[in-house]
Amino acid sequence: MLFAGGALAQVSSNASLNGVYYFLHTMLIAATGATVTDTRSGSGTLTFDGAGGFTVSGQQLIGTTAATSLTGTGSYTVKPGGFITLSNPLLTGASINARLATGAVVGSSTEAAGGIYDLFIAIPKSTALLSNTTLTGAYWVSSLEFPNGGTANIRETNFKLTANGAGAFAETSVIGEAHNLSDRLLTQTVSPITYSVAPAATGTLNFPTASGLTTTTQLIAGTKNIYVSQDGSFFIGGSSDPGGHGIVVGVKAFASGATNASWKGFYSTAGLRFDANRSRLSGVIGGVNAITQGAVWGRRTHQSDGLFDASTLATYSIGADGSGQFTSTTGHVDIAATSETFVTTGVDTLDSSTYELSFGMRLPPQSGPALFLNPQGALNAATFAPPGSPIAPGSVLTLFGTGFGTQSLSSPIPFQTTLGGVVVKINGVAAPIFALTPTQLSVIVPFSTAGPAPASVSVTVNTAVSNSIEIPVATTAPGIFTLTQNGLGDAAVRHANFTIVNGSSPAAPEEVVLLYMSGLGAVSPTVTDGSAAPSKAPFAIVSSPYVVTLGGISCEVQFAGLAPGFAGLYQLNIKLPKGIPSGTYGLAVQTPDGFTDMVNLQVVAP
């Protein structure tokens, strides 16, 4: 069962973030596009008081100047589900969109005004005394660095180091690429690579500059100050040298036996990315649901040409040591031996102009009383994208929890706002309910729901009222329904005669097929919440722009609106590309603020 509540009430709050955390923060500020005007990095400790305030003590780098002291205070708010708003330690007046994980806080300033692109990671200070023996065995090390600031010398690495427990590594090779080295995948010899770990869980990684190389031609160079997790399963680090901006992460490799199934469950993640070909900077916050079919990502991305949310599926192949490649896209993924932590990087088996680092840790479990709305269980009904993905006016929302009555019921059209004594309110407005079980509700988001502030959601069962949760709101949040009803696999598409498109009855080039979706937002003329869409002109037409692609090829859209005669269901009539060969293709839909590409469509050419 998904998102079942436990016997004891436990939801994230300000009290969930308490005590001393080590942190690393790298931030680029761009006046326009990806032209960086300011680069900053910070490290040290954040001491959270459990009541919404923190103090910072550490050092910062600005541009190419020497490190200076970083002190001050800030505030934070932890919402149920682990969603955090945190004062930016490096920039007064800005805030970080962060997530609370089981052993870390990760974040990025996606909601801050202006061109701020950053990655923030904080981990609890160990309560045990550590030493060099804490780091023993193989680690996968990834880095994303900006020597001297900006993106001209951006570089990334991903390589294995085997620690001997006494301060030395067996390997002498590092692998990665650098923008000023032609974006080529390189292997360099760096020796000796050493480390140290102090009792307070601080330490260093040391990469001496090789003969003939410099800090801008060596893939990773100098001393990196590191912070080590209590169990030694991962560490984070960065440089304090002038201009030494960037973040280094290491995760302990599996001794053997890792498989794709070793990455499983819900994780919070944040990342920083630069696409050199497009000259595009991006800061990302979101979640990952690692399942049998791959990793379902829900990303909130602030990039230099806009802000948008995406739900995507990335397939991957994990080796026996927990390291692997994405197979549906470029990049590398490393899973820690505990399966609690992962790192992704732009380093691939081929040359690449994409530089990125993402760090993720498992979501903290949430539980509550008999009537409980799980704050991590509010999902797009089409994509089932991870918690934190937004809703849009008119979209279908699935809510998980406990105590939603004692029976399973469904409603005919028009959907009513009360079903079996259950009422769901979104921003105080009763939402049409079309199905319920004791642990799951399916509702239509009222068209009056508007952002940018998150929407408040609660459930009433007879006279009992649940806890309230918050869900981000976007103008659109596209999701494509599937035949499997889990957001993956073959898209819910019909031929013009309303028969299903599948392997037994595939689509043909230039055929017009009917695609069914959620989350395309406002329509004109308007339709009453939960009522059937008009079955004849004037139809309820989508107001927001959209683009549909099949295998990366644009499709002509002949109709986009609410499905005639249905409630809460969008329909796109799309003409498939001319001359497209037989095959199974990815189907994607993009709006100005949303994107999804988790489904397939099968085509057979005559």
The string of DSSP codes covering 567-592 is: SS-EEEEEEPPTTPPSEEEEEEEEET
pLDDT digits (tens, 9 = 90+) for 529-540: 999 999 999 999
Biggest distance spanned by C-alpha atoms of the chain: 76
What integer pLDDT is reported at residue 9 of this predicted model? 46
d(CA 280, CA 463): 52
| pLDDT reported for residue 7 | 33
- Give the model's pLDDT for residue 2: 37
Structure tokens at 482: 């599937």
| Contact in structure between 478 and 594 (CB atoms under 8 Å) | yes
Residue 180, helix vs strand vs coil: helix
Residue 48 confidence (pLDDT): 98
Using CA atoms, how far apart are residues 141 and 195, in angstroms rounded to an integer?
13
Q: How long a stretch of residues is the chain?
A: 606
Work out the percent of the chain whose per-residue pLDDT is above 90: 91
C-alpha distances in Å from residue 142, one per residue of 174, 342, 377: 10, 11, 32
Q: How confident is the model over 177-205, as a mean pLDDT? A: 97
Neighbours of 500 (CB within 10 A): 12
12 backbone dihedrals φ, ψ, rounded to 5° = -65, 140
Would you state the pLDDT for residue 184? 96
Closest Cα to residue 330, out of 342, 315, 346? Answer: 346
The three state secondary structure string of 436-493 is: EECCEEEEECCCCCCCCCCEEEEEEECCEECCCEEECECCCCCEECECCCCCCEEECE
Confidence of residue 349 (pLDDT cuts 50, 70, 90): confident
Q: What are phi and psi of 351, to 5 degrees?
A: -60, 150
Structure tokens, 537 = 């002109």
CB 492, CB 589: distance < 8 Å: no
**Whether pLDDT at 426 is above 70:** yes
Exposure string (b/e) for 259-293, b if CB count within 10 Å is 16 or more?
ebebbbebbbbbbbbbbbeeebbbbbbbbbbbbee
pLDDT digits (tens, 9 = 90+) for 368-418: 999 999 999 999 999 988 989 999 999 999 999 999 989 999 999 999 999
What's the mean pLDDT in 577-603?
95
Q: Is the Cβ–Cβ distance between 265 and 289 less than 8 Å?
A: yes
Q: Which neighbouring-strand residues pair with 75?
A: 53
Residues 122-169 have pLDDT tens digits of: 999 999 999 999 999 999 999 999 999 999 999 999 999 999 999 999
pLDDT in tens, 563-586: 999 999 999 999 999 999 999 999
pLDDT digits (tens, 9 = 90+) for 257-297: 999 999 999 999 999 999 999 999 999 999 999 998 899 99
Q: Identify the three-state secondary structure at position 44.
A: strand
Q: pLDDT by residue (tens digit) across 199-258?
A: 999 999 999 999 999 999 999 999 999 999 999 999 999 999 999 999 999 999 999 999
Residue 204's alpha-carbon distances to 134, 237, 478, in angstroms, are 13, 8, 45
Pairing of strands 18-32, 115-124: antiparallel
The answer to whether 530 and 414 are in contact (CB under 8 A) is yes
Query: Which DSSP symbol is given to 427?
Result: T
Q: pTM here?
A: 0.94
Nearest Cα to 38, choosing from 133, 114, 112, 101? 114
Non-local CB neighbours of 85 within 8 Å, separated by 6+ positions: 76, 77, 95, 96, 97, 98
Please give the torsion angle defined by the CA atoms of residues 397, 2, 266 and 20, in that order, rounded to the nearest 10 degrees. 100
pLDDT score for 3: 35
- C-beta separation of 319 from 334 below 8 A: no
Q: Are strands 18-32 and 341-345 parallel, antiparallel or unpaired?
A: unpaired
- Average pLDDT over the chain reads 94
For residues 537 and 561, give the distance between their C-alpha atoms in angstroms, rounded to a whole number.
Answer: 11
pLDDT tens digits along 462-476? 999 999 999 999 999
Pairwise CA distance, residues 241 & 253, whole Å: 29
